[in-house]
Structure 1
């Protein structure tokens, strides 16, 4: 399990480094503008992201469960955000979850997670998603996202997720999770 955490951390670091540098070409002094023009955003604006999500704790009538005790569950969200304006956008996310237990691992779930984005300001974004799981469950997820580093169009972010799941002859469950990722 420690090897997996080191591997995913290294992969995220390399991915961020790869997309954090802008390409520069040779310029002559007469092609350099005398005034710096502010960046102009054209909408729709399309951005991608990848991350690691760690469910921390789940509550349900069937029993409460903490990650990192009897098993380790980790998700790897990949998504596209389409910003329609400076404040509002839509998002498509796909998240496979892998469960490690008893010296074995397996794909435990795959979530299709479309949603809406609303920028609150100060690098915070409120996200509402619906969830459709291959386990037969469905629900919604409320997310508070915070960009902690920005360089050009690339970002490093953290997020607090509050998933609620229903269906498939199981009691409703409510969870809290932490996500770390990079946007590009």
Structure 2
């Protein structure tokens, strides 16, 4: 819990600094991610088989140009199975964001989970509906994780969000 408070404090301090940056634009988003599956040396594990996990990423982007920026994301994961429902970890997910033509984009993120796992996550996204004050988008993350006495893994999922 102490790590989460420190991460939240850092995120607030970074966000306050971003608001004062003169040539930068700050955007934010809320989203939810449905992990589909994770593969490691033991085989494939699907999210919907024995349990269900839903992740709620929220973040701030500090866009330095129209095409490049820095992103700070927090993502609590909630797992439900036959024993109940609980928050299993919170992910601190900083990284770089790249915007391409026609609403396509990519994020290259580092990953630090309170469950003890760490790694990186390339995320590919597409804006589906663009409004004047917000947009709706879909993304496909590919989390690569190591540590916590578990085998290295790679997964994928579907992420849906609203940017503002």
- How far does residue 120 in structure 1 lie from its aligned partner after superposition? 1.4
TM-score, normalised with respect to structure 1: 0.75
Give the RMSD, CA atoms, in angstroms: 1.2
- How far does residue 103 in structure 1 lie from its aligned partner after superposition? 5.5
How far, CA to CA, are the matches of 1:130 and 1:62 in structure 2? Answer: 24
1:56-75 alignment runs, 5 A limit: 56-75=36-55
- How far does residue 62 in structure 1 lie from its aligned partner after superposition? 3.3
Partner of 1:152 in structure 2? Answer: 132
1:179 aligns to 2:151 (yes or no): no
- How far does residue 69 in structure 1 lie from its aligned partner after superposition? 1.3
- How far does residue 177 in structure 1 lie from its aligned partner after superposition? 0.9
- How far does residue 43 in structure 1 lie from its aligned partner after superposition? 3.6
2:50 partner SS: coil
Partner of 1:127 in structure 2? Answer: 107
- How far does residue 116 in structure 1 lie from its aligned partner after superposition? 0.1
* Corresponding residue to 2:90 among 96, 110, 114: 110
How far, CA to CA, are the matches of 1:93 and 1:145 in structure 2? Answer: 15
Whichever structure has more strand as a proportion of its residues is 2
String of CA shifts for 1:13-32, please: whole Å, max 9, x gaps: xxxxxxxxxxxxxxxxxxxx
Partner of 1:7 in structure 2? Answer: none
Q: Which runs of 5+ in 1 are unaligned?
A: 1-41
How far, CA to CA, are the matches of 1:128 and 1:104 in structure 2? Answer: 33
Partner of 1:136 in structure 2? Answer: 116
- How far does residue 167 in structure 1 lie from its aligned partner after superposition? 0.8
How far, CA to CA, are the matches of 2:42 and 2:108 in structure 1? Answer: 26
